[in-house]
Amino acid sequence: MSTQPPTGGRLPFGVRLAAAMDAHGPLCVGIDPHAALLDAWGLPDTPAGLRDFSLRVVEALAGRVAAVKPQSAFFERHGSAGIAVLEEVLAALRRAGTLAILDVKRGDIGSTMAGYAQAYLADDAPLAADAITVSPYLGYGSLRPALQAAAATGRGVFVLALTSNPEGAAVQHARTASGRAVAAEVVAGAAASNAAARAAGELGSVGLVVGATVGDAVRELDLDLLAAGGPLLAPGVGAQGAGAPELQAVFGPARAHVLASSSRGVLGAGPDPVQLRRAAARAAAEAAAALRA
């Protein structure tokens, strides 16, 4: 039970996510309706196909996984009709009581960042999610409007820290004037944001995105992921190559805080809902074996 009072009518995101991972396993399933996957499901690459695909995933998996992560780009590419589908998907997840992490990777300054925060983290926002992904590369302090909005409504953010794309290293591995890696500065920012939750013995609501296939980078950059005190969203699990050895090597003593993210590895089992559920159950069991042994 949280020692913090309910925020915005709900418990803090970190508390709710920890309970969901305990109940369903440390797995987040992405909704990534790109054209090839829609075609594989026998659906057209149209707003109607997008809607059919996304709501089938929600119906099959809601209440069975810790979280579902719609990728905003695949909805945005269909224009206003796609955004309307995204609103419907987020509403369906809310009704089902399944945590929604909206992958939007927003990052800006001042009133613009406040606008993004209002769009995704306000209680009355049509696109409100339980958490969103954000980019800190205008400075961790630029995230303040999103951090404040999330705290006020019991929601969360996942801050990009260490990604597995080859282009990311030029920024994330770079050293500041203090000699600390940029990624380590981001981790330190999250640790400061989560200090009160960690003192209360709770999982913080400011998470980090750390790729499951980053290899030795966590050790080489001296990142203390456990001290960050929040959840660690780990893309790259399953079809993208990361299994138990990679998860254990990358996350070490912070493994219990990891929420493994799988999209293609689960969605490729569709469109049959039974097969989707089986694939998600297998992925959740594999993640639990790797992260909670």
pLDDT band at 248 (very low <50, low <70, confident <90, very high): confident
Q: Higher confidence at residue 6 or residue 272? A: 272
DSSP calls for 64-123: TSSEEEEBHHHHHTTHHHHHHHHHHHHHHHHHHT-EEEEEEEE---HHHHHHHHHHHHST
Are the beta carbons of 223 and 162 closer than 8 angstroms?
yes
What is the band of 241 on the pLDDT scale with cuts at 50, 70, 90?
Answer: low
- Identify which has the larger pLDDT, 184 or 239: 184
Q: Which two tokens stand for residue 173?
A: 């591995």
Q: What is the pLDDT of residue 1?
A: 39
**What is the domain partition of the chain in residue ranges?**
13-288
Q: For residue 238, what pLDDT is reported?
A: 64
The per-residue pLDDT of the chain, averaged, comes to: 94
pLDDT score at 121: 98
What is the structure's pLDDT at 279? 96
Catalytically annotated residue among 10, 34, 105, 173:
105
Amino acid 211: pLDDT: 94
Residue 130 near residue 157 (C-beta atoms within 8 A): no
CATH superfamily of this structure's domain 13-288: Aldolase class I (3.20.20.70)
Confidence category of residue 178, pLDDT binned at 50, 70, 90 = very high
- Averaged pLDDT for residues 115-140: 97
Q: Kindly give the interhelix angle for 47-61 and 79-96, rounded to the nearest 10 degrees.
A: 10
The mean pLDDT of 195-211, rounded to a whole number, is 97
- The greatest distance separating any two alpha carbons of the chain, rounded to the nearest whole angstrom, comes to 54
pLDDT band at 189 (very low <50, low <70, confident <90, very high): very high
Mean pLDDT of 43-71: 98
Active site residue 105: yes
- Identify the pLDDT of residue 225: 97
